[in-house]
Amino acid sequence: MAHNFSMPGDFVERVVGRQGRPHTVEEIDGPSTALVVVDMQNYFMVDPYAGAAPVAVDIVPTVNRLAAAVRAGGGSVIWFRMTAPRQTDSGWSSVRELYSEAAAAARWQSLQPDDPGSALHPDLDVRDRDTVVVKERYSAFIPGSSNIVDVLQANGVTTLLIAGVATNVCCESTARDAMMLNYRVVMISDACAAKTDAEHAAALGNFYLFFGDVQTTDEIIAHLVPSR
């Protein structure tokens, strides 16, 4: 079952007090918008992988529906795939300190490009016109992680809709950094997933308070303005 989430009323009051309305993104220009689907790979979705948030399987139909709406509006759909360096690479040694030797080895192997754990979930509706971007860090936007900035600039994208897994790790990291680079960013509450309801809610609440907008899939589709 997907997360049961609603934004706390006091959070909404604080945001309205600051910006005068509950949502900054009230109209979405289709052609300048990209749906960014973060790391919906087997490793992050399917048991028994250690990184799996099984709730993510339940949001697949919602993600597919949102992707179809963005395409219909003239926007871009971008699928992120997280990959990991081989164990001999020291470029991200700090993250290895967070894992035991055995856990690190299993994670790194499962996120190699040719491993089944690295593959996008088979029920996702990935189309030929979409773009698949490989990233090497939680955030796609830090230097050396991916070519996402080039992809967005080439497509004239200024608004990002963030979906995927995990809400509080790669989705949130990517969304925050995108906002810092002056993109309009919306995290889609019912198209993101985390290990627990608490982690999901904490990430969305903090993002809404300080970084950008949080809306549902229905709200986003209602705001989409197709190409004219």
Please indicate, yes or no, if residue 144 is contained in any of the structural domains.
yes
Q: Which residues contact 167 (CB under 8 A, 6 or more apart)?
A: 187, 192, 193, 194, 199, 200, 203, 204
Distance (Å, whole) CA 51 – CA 57 = 13
Q: How far is CA 32 from CA 41, 43, 172, in A?
A: 26, 31, 21
Parent domain of 162: 28-225
pLDDT at 88 over 70: no
Residues 1-13 have a mean pLDDT of 94
Please indicate, yes or no, if residue 97 is contained in any of the structural domains.
yes
Give the CATH number, domain containing residue 154. 3.40.50.850
* Percentage, residues of the chain above pLDDT 70: 96
Please indicate, yes or no, if residue 14 is contained in any of the structural domains.
no
193 contacts 59 by C-beta, under 8 angstroms = yes
Domain count within the chain? 1
**Which has the closest alpha carbon to 37: 6, 5, 4, 70?**
70
Please indicate, yes or no, if residue 19 is contained in any of the structural domains.
no
pLDDT tens digits along 19-54:
999 999 999 999 999 999 999 999 999 999 999 999
Please indicate, yes or no, if residue 13 is contained in any of the structural domains.
no
Please indicate, yes or no, if residue 10 is contained in any of the structural domains.
no
pLDDT at 180: 97
Please indicate, yes or no, if residue 187 is contained in any of the structural domains.
yes
Q: Which helix (H) or strand (E) holds 187?
A: strand 184-193
Please indicate, yes or no, if residue 7 is contained in any of the structural domains.
no
pLDDT tens digits along 150-205:
999 999 999 999 999 999 999 999 999 999 999 999 999 999 999 999 999 999 99
Strand order in the sheet with 33-38: 131-135, 76-82, 33-38, 159-165, 184-193, 213-215
